[in-house]
Structure formats: structure tokens, C-alpha cells
Structure 1
Amino acid sequence: MYNQPMRLLEITTSILLAFHLFWRAPRPASIRFLPLAAFIVIMIHFAVEGYRWQMIPLYGLTAILSGLALVGIDIKTLASILTLILLALSTAVPILLPVPRIADPSGPYDVGTRIYEVVDESRREIYSGKDEARRFLIQVWYPSEADSSSERAPWMADAKIYAPAIAEHIHLPSFFLDHLALVNIPAYKESRLAVSSEPFPIILFSHGWNGFNAQNTGQALELASHGYVVVGVQHTYGAVVTVFPNGDVSLNNPEALPPDETPTDEYEVTSQKLVNQWAGDLGFTLEFLTAQNNDASSPFYEKLDLDHVGVYGHSTGGGAAVQFCGTDLRCIALLGMDPFMRPVSYDVINNGVEQPSFFMFSQSWADNAASRNNELFNNFYPKAEQPLGVIALDGTAHYDFTDLPLLTPLAPQLGLKGPINGKLVTTIVNDYLLSFFDLTLKGKATDLFDTQIQKYAEVKRIK
């Protein structure tokens, strides 16, 4: 995923207005009427690219200059300079809050995506305040064969609800990210599964506290394009918000994870209930996928390799992945990104995991050596039976493992990323992610985990 500072028609509008204003009065007719051309471009932009509030100053300036052109007023040099300054300020807003663009994945497959509502009648919901079964969403990204009728999928379903919730979570006004509803991804909505003589391995993803299932879409697309069925689990009441197909909206329940200042024992007992529930979501997702694999009417009928299941997660979701793999041997391989260990049960921390495992830390988390989280991880890791290592990425912060830093060039100032280049982070993380699951689920050899080889200068091997 990367920033697209302004879209084509937005850029065209700015160029037309700038060209008009740079030309000294008196302007020839062809230059004097450029704002009218910009106005026409704006009308096309509304129809093709879509309105967004960040462009309002530019819309207004275009309308004013077009009106002046129509009545024959040719603004003088001083007015042109002042208007150019206004144009620069008007253009800055959409640049600082761009429409994100998800980069095309590198694999040979197109990618399809489907969203399912899942209800686990065997478990009760513990965070809704109601006596009801556990209910959550999953989003599946899978190898696909798109055709001319295939419809591009949005980055997030129900973006008009998700975007304000995400904005408020990162301390922005609720309307600031409304343009996320304009983002489509290089994947196709409910397109057909790719033809293959072999079933596809499965990778489960667990998001972090106040995250959402599509927060790591770039990674999901990359994995799916290389022949994996990737399933993002939306943990209701732990996610920033959950919107069900019938329109029900479940907000994050802040009481599910205690405040940081809570005494250690109380915090960890309470948070362990949360991660146990999330691990249960991962387990029931596999049961749901098993049913899909056995259902002749399912698009995934007999195409899911349930003997080769990888699990990874970020932050609290990384803790859920550790908890699940430590208690359920259907997990074949475990990867954690800044895994939050405080909610992991003491049994799993003390006993480790049997599966091949690998962990990536941001510099901000790795450098906090005295943290309770690092204390627990350092107790856990030596018990891992098939460890492939622990690395830290220089210049990264916690959210560098997600798509969120690329919402805006101001991400470092908002605490959403470290100083390292975002595209480089994506390259490194995707390389480790794909190489790890290729090795553990497909048996493809790689030297990326060889301690004697340093492929990336930004990667520091911790263990």
C-alpha cells in the first residue's frame, strides 16, 4: 500500500489553475479560459473519481476563477500571486490526506475476496452485555481468476462507518478519513477461485486491539497472490468497530482490555479472557472453513488444505496467535508482529510452542527492553521448540506492520510509523512473511532465516 497524493483529475485541475495564474495579465483568451477547463475537469472528477472533502478549497477556487473568466475579469499580478498562494494551500490538504492506493501484489494469481458472518453457538459472548452466541466476521482473500465481469473490491466494507471510528481512534476529527470509502484494492469481490490441482494452504490473521480485519490488506493480497487462502478474523468488541451484514454495529468495548496502570496480576487475568476469546475465534474459523471445504455448494469446496494452516497476528492479535498455536495443534506455523504477550496464558508462556515460529518487532517495542511485554516474551521464546528467530526493524514503530501509516504523510507525527521509508518496510515485512510461510507450509527452501546472511541492513537479529 502506498500514498497517491492526488488523483489524476485532481492534479489536472491544479495544473490548469496554476498555469492560468502564472501567466501575467493581460492573458490571451486560451489562457483566460483555463479555469473553465478546470471546472469541466472537476465535473468529470465528481463522476469518475468521486468527491472528497479535502478538495473543497480547490473546488471553491475553481468555481471563483471560472466565474471571473465568464464575466471577462482578468485578475492582475498581485491578485494572481495571492491566488497562487491560496491554490498552494488548497492543494496541500488533499496531498496531506491522500486517497490511499493498495499496490498490486507480486504473485502469479489474481486475488478474490469474500466476507462471512460466523456464529459460534458453543460459546457465549462475554462483552456485549447480552446472553447471546459469539458472533464475528471473517474476510477471506484467495487466489482467483478474474474476468471482465469481476468487480473491484473496496479496501473496507462499510467504510462510512469504519472511517470515522478509525479517525477517532487515532485522535483525528471523525470526518477526516471519509475518503477511505473511495479506496478500491487490487482484488475482486466474490470472484471465482483459481483452478488448481492441489488445495490451497490457509493462513489466519488476527488484528490488534482497536484494529480491524482489513488493517493488513497489503500483506493478505501478497500472500493470496502466491497461492494462499488468507483469512482475516474480525474480533467483535475488540475491533475498532464491527458492522454485520444486517446492519448491526458493535463498537469496541474498552473494558475488555484494562488500562495500562491496572495492577499486573489483575491486568493479565482480565486480558487473558480477551485473548482466550480471540483464540476461540481462530479455532472456530477453522471449523467454519472445514464446513466450507466439505460443502459442495461452497466456492471453496475441496480446495482448502486444512492440514497446512499458518497463523499470524499483530499486537494483541499476535498474542492471540501465540495463544492459539500454544493450545491447538491445527496450527502448523506461527508468526508474530510485535506480539502482545501480557494476555497470553502463563501455561503457554511457560511451555512455549511446538510449531516453527518467527517473530518481528518494531524498533520502538524492541528498544523498550524493561517492559513487562518483553519480560514475558523473553520467558516464552526459549521454550519454543522450532524457533526461526526474532528480528527488529530499525526505524519502525508499532503500526509500521499495518497499512495504517500510509493514510497520510503525517503518519510519523501522528505516531503511526517510524522514520523508515514505508515502501521499504512493506518490502522487508512481505519478504519475511511470504518466505516464512513458503518454508513452513510449502517446504520451499530459503536462506532468509540464516543467521550468517544479512539481506537487509535495517534488520537487526535479536535472537
Structure 2
Amino acid sequence: MRFFEIVLLVFNILLMGWILFFKNKTQRSFLIGSGISVILMLLHGIIEGMRWAMIPAYVLSVVALLLFVVRLRSKSRQAGEQPARKRSIVKLVLLTLLTVIYSAVAVALPILLPVFTFDKPTGSYKIGTVTYDWKDDSRDEVLTPDPNDKRELMVQIWYPADAKAKGKTAAYHSDANAFAEGYSKMFNFPKLLFSSIGYVKTHAIENAEIANAEPSYPVLLFSHGLTGNKMQNTFQVEQLVSHGYIVVGIDHTYSSTTSVFPDGRVAPLIMQDIKSITDLDNANEQWVEDAKFVLDEVEKLAANDPDQRFTGRMDMNHVGMFGHSYGGATSTQVLMADSRIKVAINMDGVLYGQRLIPEEGLGKPFMMMSADSSVENINSTTEGSPIDMKKEVLPRFANITKGGNYWMILNKTTHISFTDFVSFSPLFQLMQGRNIGEAYSLINDYSQDFFDHYLKNQPFRLLEQNIGEHPDFTILHD
């Protein structure tokens, strides 16, 4: 919860108790109490922005003001008969119950639907960001009925910014309404529950000057999960950028939560009819081609950026890729398909795609990160599912660590532990077996250690030192 939300809620709960249970309230005290409540509500609205989850708190601010007006206009009451004691006790119980219910609802709504924040990145760099709309005229868009449509992608680049960089901080989502609609379809929950994402901010500064501390920076492509989006791993992207990486996030149009183009067009999520593992393998090839196309465009920026931001500043000899879920599978596929990608991390992605890991291994540095619950699912036979995980998927994992690669399994985690989605509500966090902050730290520390070693030629700090079983994770390595 945000600062003024907390202050307003606490004050209004105390104000409600005072109104209901304290006698001998003067007009002056009513004026002060209702006035403070309204002022706090206005400050909250102006500074933080109002949202529907705070409606119970707003209602009490208005009720307190109305009670003051009514009290001001009412005539002095004459002394009368005192109510029966039994009636007073019933009234007290009802008032107490009303206070408890109001307080519970008023506090629960903004807590369950928070305006969450991202931890401050630990690196020495600030973060800059810029967004591009790139169209691949060589490829038809196969997910729309219009035969003239070409594949068009929204791409966001995060990069190290100077320590003195200042400017507008980027919102988590460019169009809160469109993404709330997308999340509603993605999670199958009412759209209203996702309206608070419009208030979530990042640490990235729009169009900031790139840092001059290093002549160039390694480049990492990021591919989201099926129905996810390029911002879904902001907790990880910002951390990597603060330590000297340029991260290029791809929205895989019509397979992402939503894509919002600069001219206002919205490409919604289109759920494809998947009937077999072959369907998933074939569909993934479009994502592989997306990554190759984006890498082509990044090379153009590195050679001659019209804005002169990235010209000569992207180290195209040290390029890696990482992704979550279906995007993790894409990272593995691109590592095998494109010589420009030197290293890759697959975060809890089933190994879908047209290329299988060879018996001798990938021949390039690779790291698999998995939730223990996902590994358990892969090792089981699912009744009624179009894909038999144990029979069709498990064999694909046999060669992950061949050739000296790594497989890290995080204990007490789930598929969404690798994304920001866990932060959307404490209800999602309750599904995890551990504190999500601890999981984020492990993901960030070990992914950075992996990339630092292979793209920056730094010695391992963690991976090689922690091979084997540990309370929080297991690292397998041939």
C-alpha cells in the first residue's frame, strides 16, 4: 500500500470508532475530524491517484463530512428517557460488528490488490528505457485473417544510464486499461481486479542518456511466457541493467498479454488451439523468427542509431538471451538456431521447439532454471491432457547439463515465481512455498553470475561454488 493510502485508512478507522463509540462530540471536533479525513483523501488523490479498492475509505471521508453538516443544522436535543440497557447492549454489539466489518473490508481490498513496488536495483547504474515499433515486411502475420498483415512487434530496450540521469520515470504499463483487459483474459478474473497496475512505477527513466562508464555493454534478449509480456520480468531486467547490461524485451504480438502500438492500435491476446506437442513445437518457430528479426534490428541500432544513443554502445560480440516459460523454450531454440546468441537461460520453460538438445549437449553455455513443482509435473502423467508430460516432454530434458551446462531447481516455487505476476496480489504469493523476495534474489543472483562469467569474462561467484543439493535449491552440472 502507498503512504497516503495507509494514513487515510488508519485515520478513517479511528475516526469511525470515535464517531460510533464516543459521546459528547462537539461541532468543533466533528469539523476537525471530518476536515482532516477529506484533506487526506484529496492529498492521496492528487499525489498517488484514486482507485476503486480504496472506495470504503473514501466513503467514510464523505460520511464524516455529511455527519458534520447534519449536526451543524440540527437543533439541540432535549433530555429524554434513557434507552433500556438491553437495547444499549444490542446497539453496542451492532456498532462494534459494523466497525469490524468496515475495517476488514477497507483494509483487505487495497492489500489484496496492491500498487506494488519494485526493489531498488543493487547495481551502480541508473536505468534508461526506450520503446520501438518494428515491422518485419518479409513475414506475414499468421494470427490475423487479413492476408496483407505483416508481423509487427513492440520492443522495449532497457540500458545503463548515467548516475546523474533525470527525467520521467516510466510506468509499468503504457496503457493500463488495455493491459487490465489482457490480464483479465490471461488469469480469467474480472478486469476490475487489475486496474491498480496503472499506478505501478518502475525505476527506468524514459529516453535517458546512456552511461559512459564503459565503451559498450553486453546485450540480452528477453522473451516472455505465453500470454505474458515484455515487462513481466521487470524485477530481473532492472537488476541486470543496473549491473551493466542492455536488455531487449520482445512482445510476441497476439501471444502476449496485449500489445499497444504508438498510434493507439491494440493487438489483443489470441488464444491458439493447441492439440498436441507438435502444435507447440511448430508455433514456437514464429517466436524464434521474432527473436532473429529483433536481433537484426538491434544490430542496425548498434551500427547506426538515428538517435545516436546506441551507436557503438552495444557489444554485439557478447549477446545472450533469457526467457520465461514459452519464452524460455524460445531462448533455448534461438541458442541452437542463431550463432549470434552466445549464451542462454531458460526459466521454467518446457523444451518445446523444432530442435532437440543433442546427446552431446548444446555446445554453448546454457542454464536451465526450474521450479521444483514444475519438475514434479514433468515427471508425472496427466490424465486427459493432450500432452503426456512424462512420455513426450521428460525425455527432452535428458541432455540439459551435457557439455558442462547447468540446471538449477528452486525449492518451494511455482511457475509464476519467475515473474512479476506474483507481486500482483498476496493471494498469488500464498501459492508459493517461500517468500517471493528470496526467490527473486536467487533468480537475480544466479542469472547475473551466469551472464557475468560468459559475457563479461568474470569468475563465478556462485554457480560453480554451489553445485549439488542445498536447502533452497539444487544445481545439477556435468
TM-score w.r.t. the length of structure 1 is: 0.90
Q: 2:124 aligns with which of 99, 108, 118?
A: 108
Q: Structure 2: which 5+ runs fail to align?
A: 75-90, 382-387
Provide the C-alpha distance between the structure 2 equivalents of 1:254 and 1:349, rounded to a whole number of angstroms.
Answer: 31
Amino acid at match of 1:222: Q
Superimposed CA distance per residue, residues 51-95 of structure 1 (whole angstroms, 9 cap, x where no aligned partner): 101011211122112221333389x96675345221332221111
Aligned to 1:344: 353
Amino acid at match of 1:70: V
Provide the C-alpha distance between the structure 2 equivalents of 1:380 and 1:393, rounded to a whole number of angstroms.
Answer: 16
Q: SS of the residue aligned with 1:55?
A: helix
Distance 1:246 1:186, change over 3 A: same
Q: SS of the residue aligned with 2:438?
A: helix
Structure (1 or 2) with the larger CA radius of gyration: 2
Provide the C-alpha distance between the structure 2 equivalents of 1:349 and 1:29, rounded to a whole number of angstroms.
Answer: 81
CA contact (8 A) 1:331 1:355 kept: no
Aligned to 1:94: 110
Aligned to 2:462: 448
CA contact (8 A) 1:351 1:380 kept: no
The answer to whether the aligner puts 1:10 opposite 2:19 as a matched pair is no
The answer to whether the aligner puts 1:123 opposite 2:139 as a matched pair is yes
Provide the C-alpha distance between the structure 1 equivalents of 2:68 and 2:403, rounded to a whole number of angstroms.
Answer: 72
Task: Report the CA distance between 1:381 and its aligned residue.
Answer: 4.6
CA contact (8 A) 1:200 1:227 kept: yes
Indicate the RMSD between aligned Cα atoms, in angstroms.
2.4
Superimposed CA distance per residue, residues 318-351 of structure 1 (whole angstroms, 9 cap, x where no aligned partner): 111111111111111111111122x311454667
Aligned to 2:452: 438
CA contact (8 A) 2:360 2:402 kept: no
Amino acid at match of 1:246: D
Task: Report the CA distance between 1:373 and its aligned residue.
Answer: 4.8
Q: SS of the residue aligned with 2:310?
A: coil
Superimposed CA distance per residue, residues 123-153 of structure 1 (whole angstroms, 9 cap, x where no aligned partner): 2222122233211111111101265750010
Superimposed CA distance per residue, residues 426-463 of structure 1 (whole angstroms, 9 cap, x where no aligned partner): 11111111111111110111242226567962112355
Q: 2:340 aligns with which of 327, 330, 351?
A: 330
Note the 1:50-449 alignment, pairs <5 A: 50-72=49-71, 81-85=96-100, 86-131=102-147, 132-145=149-162, 147=164, 149-255=166-272, 258=274, 262=275, 267-298=276-307, 299-341=309-351, 343-348=352-357, 352-368=361-377, 369-370=379-380, 372-373=388-389, 376=393, 378-382=395-399, 386-412=403-429, 417-449=431-463
Q: How many residues align?
A: 445
CA contact (8 A) 2:127 2:205 kept: yes
Superimposed CA distance per residue, residues 155-186 of structure 1 (whole angstroms, 9 cap, x where no aligned partner): 11112101221133212111211111111111
Amino acid at match of 2:54: M
CA contact (8 A) 1:349 1:376 kept: no
- Percent identity over paired residues: 28
CA contact (8 A) 1:360 1:392 kept: yes
Provide the C-alpha distance between the structure 2 equivalents of 1:89 and 1:323, rounded to a whole number of angstroms.
Answer: 48
Provide the C-alpha distance between the structure 1 equivalents of 2:330 and 2:305, rounded to a whole number of angstroms.
Answer: 32
Superimposed CA distance per residue, residues 229-278 of structure 1 (whole angstroms, 9 cap, x where no aligned partner): 011111012112111111222122222x50xxx3xxxx233222321111
Q: SS of the residue aligned with 1:307?
A: strand
Provide the C-alpha distance between the structure 1 equivalents of 2:444 and 2:29, rounded to a whole number of angstroms.
Answer: 48
TM-score w.r.t. the length of structure 2 is: 0.87
Provide the C-alpha distance between the structure 1 equivalents of 2:447 and 2:65, rounded to a whole number of angstroms.
Answer: 52
